[in-house]
Each structure stands twice: as C-alpha cells, then as structure tokens.
Structure 1
Amino acid sequence: MITKLIVLHKLRSIASIFVVFTTVHAVGRMPATAADRVFLRTPSGLGESRVVGNVEEFTGDQLVLRHPSGRQQTFKSDRVLRVESDRSAPHQLARASFHRHRYQESLEEYSKALRIEKRKWVQRQQLAKITWCYRNLGQFEQASASFLALYRSDTTTQHFSAIPLVWGGRPPDVAVERRAATLLADAKQPAGQLIGASWLLTTAKRPEALQMLRSLTNATDARIIFLAEAQTWRTQLATLTDADVIRMQTRVEAMPQAIRGGPYFLLGTAQALRGQPARAALAFLRIPINFPEDRTLAAQALLATGSELETINRPGEARGLYREIIVDYADTPMAATAQGRFAARSPSNADNATSDKNSSDKRNTEKKKH
C-alpha cells in the first residue's frame, strides 16, 4: 500500500507539471464568451453532462444557472464537477503563478482580479486562493482575514479547507498571538474562534483555547465541530493508547474529505509515537497527494514519511522523498532538513562509513596480534 501511494504521489506531481504548462500557455487567449459551461456528475455517478448558461450563484450548497432562454435551474453543488467560465487577465496570471508556487506574484494578481470581478461566486474563489497564498507565505493575520471574509460571504463554502489552522510547528509571534486572542473573544464568528484557539494552543492562553475548542463541538457547522475536536488531539498525542489511535482514525475517516489534511497529520504523528511506522507513513502520504495546496504541511508530511520509511528499512524510498522536498518544496523550512538527511544517507557516505568501519576493524585486529 505504501508503494502504491508513493507511485500515485509521483503521478500527481507529473500531472501538476502539465497543469502549469497548460495554464501558462492559456493566459491571454481565453475565448470571450457570454456563457458559462457547467459540468455535472450524472445521476448514476459514472459519467458527466454539460449545461450552458450564466452562473448566477455558486455556493457550497447549490449552483444557480440561468439558461439562454431565461429559465433558471438549480443544481446541488455536490453534483458539480467543474465550471468553465471567462476569467480576467489578472485572474489568469494569478492562476499561472499559483501553480508555479510563486505566491507573492499570485497574491498580487488575485488581488487585482478581486477588485474588478463583479460575480460574487468568482470573488469567493479568488478569496480562497488569496487565503492559500497568504498561508503559503506564512502571513497568518492576512490569511485569517481573507478566510473569514470568504466564510461570511458563504458559510457553506466549498473552500473551508483554506481555514488557517495550526497542525504542527512553532508558537505564534506576539502580533499573531494578539490577533488570535481577538478572534477567540469574538462570539459572532465561530470560525474565527476556531482559528484563534488553534493558534493559542501552544501559548500561555492554552487553557482558554482548550475551553473554546470544547465549546465549539456544539457549533452548527459540522466542519467546525470536527476540526475543533481534532485540534484538541494536539494536546493528547503523547498519552494516547492504541485504542485511542483507532478511535482517532475512525473520526478522521468520518470527516468531510476536504478537511482531513491536518487531522491526517495528527493521526500519522500518533501512530508514529505508538510504534506503528507503516500506518503512520500511509497517513502522512495522504497529505501531499490529496491536500497539496498546504505546501508547508505537505512538506512536513513528506519529511515525516521519510522517517517512518527508514524505520521499516526502506531507505531508498525515503531518500526519494527527501530529494523531492529539496527540489519541489525548496521554499519551505523543511527543505534544509531534507537536504541534511539526503546528504547523510547518500551511497557515498554509506561507502565511507563502511570503509571507516573496515579500517577500524583491521586496526583492532592488528592490535590484538601485537
């Protein structure tokens, strides 16, 4: 299973290169048409159909389409596979930069696109991408503001996975801690309270953060309930039993697919701590495969996967993942650690270590003779 996931991850990486190529070459030559193209899953779930018209609204709950005849039709959002629609030049440039991981450039272009875009449903898509740009640039305060603007516009949003929560890493700096405390105190924004509690969990305000996370299990949004519960696991990892870890996995698999990224990281961490390296590697690998937008978490997960693969004596595959971090995640803090591990485990170092051991054994033998 681990080998299959590694192969799948490599195929996804190749596919992402193709997406970059096609996106870059499409910039500036999008045909100007008045109609949107909506691709729907057929009732059988085995195929797709297409309808054409003007998308008037698209939320996490439904898509509203106005046909050329003037007739209005509504579709459940879970039937919508994709929507092809005209985008402004800044939007197209932003998308190309995003796929190239040039987040500052992408942020600037998406911000331009947002200012000129009139369609609310497209604005929400842009806000989601802006949030991911801020997250991948490490700008928490701005990420929280853009996400909450998105959530206020559509509480059923399909982009809830963009919520900037903490799943590992260092405590926040003073400015971020101050902003998190403000969010924690705002009872009108449960999504903001979840963000604030997440960032305060490693600070002196941990008791208040934990209390808030427990109270959010009564929220009206099931995604907030699931993620609030998962955030509490961060304080329990060292004391979990095997039975606890099994229950944790059951809870993760009960969550909506889109929000499982961070919880999978905690599950993998718990399994690693319980001496279950193969299971931990599987949990970690799901993150870069299924949740690549969160580059920092994906790089952390690949690094953790490498450690677990080494534990089960699969050093070659571990080195392959370290190499991938060095090349594809050079913009993340994990690249330096991966570089050190890759160099330390190179065949030449292994040969040198073997040679040193043989020389040492030979010297010891000579000493015994004398």
Structure 2
Amino acid sequence: MRAFLLINLALVFLFQNTASSCAQDKIEVRPDHHVGQATLPCTILDFTQSEIKVKLLPSGTVKTYPSSEIVKVHTPQTEQHQQGLEQLQNEEYEKAIESFSEALNIENRLWVRREILALMTKAALALGDNLKAALRFQIMVENEPDARSFDLIPLDWGIKDTLSPARNAAQNWLTDQDEVKQLIGASILLTAPDYQAQAEATLRSLATSPQINIQQLARTQLWRLRLRAGDISLLELQRWERNLNQVPELLRAGPHFLLGTGYAMLERHGQAAASFLWIPLAENSNPQLSAEASLKAADSILAMGQTVNALRLYQETAARYSKSPARQMALQMIDQITKASSQPTTQDN
C-alpha cells in the first residue's frame, strides 16, 4: 500500500520473529532508489520514527539510516517480551500487559523499553483503557518526542460528551508543561461543558507547535467542535480532506474518522463510507477506533441501499473486533437485516 506506512506499522511486531538466542542485533536495509537489500550485523543505539542509529560490527563505525530504508529489525528479546507478543497476537491483552511489565523491569536498552511501552499502550487501547494507555504513552515519549508509534496516542475522536475514566487525570494534563500531556488532556476535555473553553484554547495554542505531530493532531482535533455545532458544509469537509495531506500518514486515522462523521451528517454516504473504511484498512494502532469506523462504514453502506454489502461488513466487524463494543452493535444489525430479509414480501392482488 504505502511503504513507509507499512514499515512503521509492522516493525513493532517484527520482533516476535526474532530468536532470543541471537547474540547481536541485525538490520535489513534497502536504500531508497536501490534494488536489493543488505543485512548488517550491528548494535542498535537508538531507533526513532525518523531514523535508526547503529554501531556496525565488526568495524565499530556509528552510522544513521532513515527509518524509510529499514526493512526489518532483528534484536534479542527476553522470554517475557516474547511471551507478551504471543499473548498480544492472541488477543490476551491483560496477560500481555503483565508480561510486558515484567519485560520492562529487566530490559536496559532504552529503545527497546520504548518498544515495550508502545506494545503496552496498544494492549491498553485494545481493552478500551485509555487512562492506562495514556500513562504508558506519556512515559514512552517523555524523553523522545520523535519516538516511533506516535500513532498510539490515545486521543478522543468522538463528538459527544462522555464520562471518560481519564477525565480527572486530564484536568492535570491540560495545565502541564509537556505538550503531549496537554494534547491528550485537551482531547478528553474538549466535549466536557466545564472545560471546553480551556481545552479549545489549549488546542489552538498547540496548533502552532513546532512538533509536527502535535501541531497537526491539535488542528484536526478542533474539527470536533465544528461537527458538534452541526452546521458543517460540504466546502469545509472538502477543505479538511485537502488538509489531510499535511498530516503525517500514520496519524490520519482520527482525522479520517471525523471526515467520515461530517460526510455522514450531510448524507453523503459514499464519501462517509470511504473515509471510515480507510481506518480499518490502512491503520491498526487503535482497535477500538477501527472497530467503530468499520461499524459506521457499514451504516453508511446500508444507508445507500447496499444491504448485502452492509451485511458482509457488519459480519466482518463482529468477527474481527470481538473485544469492542462495536461488536454488539454489529450483531444487532446482522440480526435486524437477517430478519427483514426472511420476511415474505406482500403483493397486491
């Protein structure tokens, strides 16, 4: 699909294929505009969203490669790390978090610690535990704003006021000096009547941040206010769609969700379905958001009168997102459509 997107999505999980007996790190590199790739023995010194820094072996030469050139990373893992990866793959999220916690306690490499924290964040998101996800994410990026897996940031992309378990913590984050904490706090409190004005002011300030991830996420978070107002226009949605090109590709899931919400409001169901479907097809960092987007895409397809296609998507949503509240809604729609199709049609004499 998109090489850079797939590489960054996949690298978190590539470590599960690495043998723990491996004595050293290895990276597989494919330089841009070159055919073929090279496997380089090394010691990985750091690994961020933009680059990987290694000490090549046996020469000891320190070299930096763009992340876009990295095909695969091999690194030794602890038994607990490997166990957590297996549990995560099997959707045993609570057990995975326990295993990753144990791995974190014995892992000394800073870049691997960030990988483990990212996996713990992903497991918490899959459980819908945004408070725990936020705490892990904040630790992950505390000393490394260019950390990989920034797409795991647990932001709220809904437009209705919800009683988030993280709301109390969000009040403190909103006034913190750290921009990541401010962003998460403002996102949670943007739909809270008592804090909306403060959250909006924070987002408008963050929209000028020199950190591109913070800046673009803050700008798109403000779209939620326009959708809440309910007076969105087609021209405005089209402008949002053009502005998506400025958002780093890994961070476009939430903005696509808002775009789909806007198109659905205007009953432009084909465009709504396309925006919602982008998320489960191209993005897998937040299973709860992907599940809701898949459900809403099916709703839009049903509104277009494509009952068979909608039924298939409801079935896929229920099967693929067994841990999500969207599953129950999908099952209800499957039952409703099935019953409607089984009723005999009445013909006039």
Normalised TM-score (structure 1): 0.85
Runs in 1 of length 4+ with deviation above 4 angstroms?
Answer: none
Match of 1:97 in 2: 87
- In 1, Cα distance between the equivalents of 2:279 and 2:340? 31
1:37 matches 2:26: yes
User: Which amino acid is the alignment partner of residue 128 of structure 1?
Assistant: A
Q: Distance in 2 between matches of 1:214 and 1:142?
A: 26
Query: Corresponding residue for 2:191?
Result: 202
Q: Structure 1 residues 247, 42: CA separation in 2 closer, same or farther (over 3 Å shift)?
A: same
Q: CA 1:172 to 1:341, structure 2 compared with 1: closer, same or farther past 3 Å?
A: closer
Distance in 2, Cα, partners of 1:273 & 1:70? 59
Q: CA RMSD in A?
A: 2.3
SS at 1:42 equivalent: coil
Separation in 2, partners of 1:256, 1:179:
27
Query: What is the rounded CA distance, in whole Å, between the counterparts of 1:174 and 1:315 in structure 2?
Result: 34
**Counterpart in 2 of 1:302?**
294
Match of 1:117 among 107, 110, 114: 107
Asked if the contact 2:20–2:79 (Cα under 8 Å) also holds between the matched residues in 1, the reply is no
Residue 156 of structure 1 aligns to a residue whose secondary structure is coil
Q: Contact 2:46 / 2:52 at 8 angstroms: preserved in 1? A: yes
Q: Distance in 1 between matches of 2:277 and 2:36?
A: 29
Question: Does the 8 Å contact 1:60/1:154 carry over to 2?
Answer: no
Structure 2, unpaired ranges of 5+: none
Name the SS for the 1:105 alignment partner.
Answer: helix
Query: Residue 126 in 1 paired to residue 116 in 2?
Result: yes
Write out aligned runs for 1:1-370 (5 A). Answer: 30=19, 32-44=21-33, 47-67=36-56, 68-168=58-158, 171-173=161-163, 175-186=165-176, 188-204=177-193, 205-237=195-227, 238-346=230-338, 349-354=340-345, 357-358=346-347, 361=348
Q: Is the 8 A contact 1:36 1:54 kept in 2?
A: yes
How big is each residue's C-alpha offset from its partner over 1:64-92, in whole Å with a ceiling of 9 and x where there is no partner? 21122222222122322321111111111
Task: Please identify, of 197-206 and 163-172, the stretch whose mean Cα deviation from structure 2 is larger.
Answer: 163-172
Q: What percent identity do the matched residue pairs reach?
A: 27
**Matched letter for residue 230 of structure 1:** T
Q: Distance in 2 between matches of 1:344 and 1:174?
A: 30
Supply the AA of the counterpart residue of 1:314: Q
3-state SS of paired residue (1:239): coil
Distance 1:294 1:72 in 2: 35
Give distance in 1, aligned partners of 2:165 and 2:278: 33
Task: Report the AA paired with residue 282 of structure 2.
Answer: N
Secondary structure at the counterpart of residue 191 of structure 2:
coil
Give me the whole-angstrom Cα distance separating, in 1, the residues matched to 2:326 and 2:160.
13
Structure-2 change in CA distance of 1:249 and 1:207 (3 Å): same
| Mapped partners of 1:45, 1:157: distance in 2 | 27
Displacement of 1:353 in angstroms is 4.9
Cα offset for 1:43?
2.5
Q: Which protein is richer in helix relative to its size?
A: 1
Structure 1 residue 153, shift from structure 2 partner: 2.4
